[in-house]
Amino acid sequence: MKLVGITAILVTTAIVGVAHAETAIQAGEWEATEKTTMEGLEPTPATSKKVCLKGDDAKLERLFFPTPAEMKEHGCTYQEGAKKAGVLTATLTCPPSDAIAGVTAKAEVTYSATSYEGLGQIEAKDKSGTTVKGSSVLSGKRIGDCP
């Protein structure tokens, strides 16, 4: 289903055209885990990926939002929520296209320099108006230096 395709883009790879502060974390290899549940769809197992963050790329947002290039490609906008020490809140909105559904993804993540955990809310809507809502449990930790 095309609605599920954008979910993968949003959460595993859900910041473009808008200047925003990014949240610095410790550089190194990170393990990012996500468990997403979409209404009306079969549950899927949690997914986990390892990501090497170096230098200026050591930002929390790189672990669960698409890259700026991917966001630009899809015409997405990013809006940061209220500033609070150790908490990132943000909303990502991507319009629908012929190939993928439009998505609004909201995240609230508690973090330190070496770990994070949080929740995401997703609403995907295709051009025909079909809407699917879902949620994600996000977590991650630094596991060492990059290989």
Smallest CA-to-CA distance from 1 within 34, 42, 36, 57 is with 42
Question: Do residues 20 and 60 lie in contact, with contact meaning Cβ atoms separated by under 8 Å?
Answer: no
Picking from 10-24, 31-45, 56-70, 98-112, which range would have the lowest pLDDT averaged per residue?
10-24
pTM reported for the whole predicted model: 0.78
* Domain locations along the chain: 2-144
pLDDT surpassing 80 at residue 2: no
Please give the residue that has the higher pLDDT: either 125 or 66: 125
Q: How many CB atoms lie within 10 A of CB 126?
A: 18
Length of the chain: 147
Smallest CA-to-CA distance from 13 within 78, 63, 85 is with 63
Q: How confident is the model at residue 113 (pLDDT cuts 50, 70, 90)?
A: very high
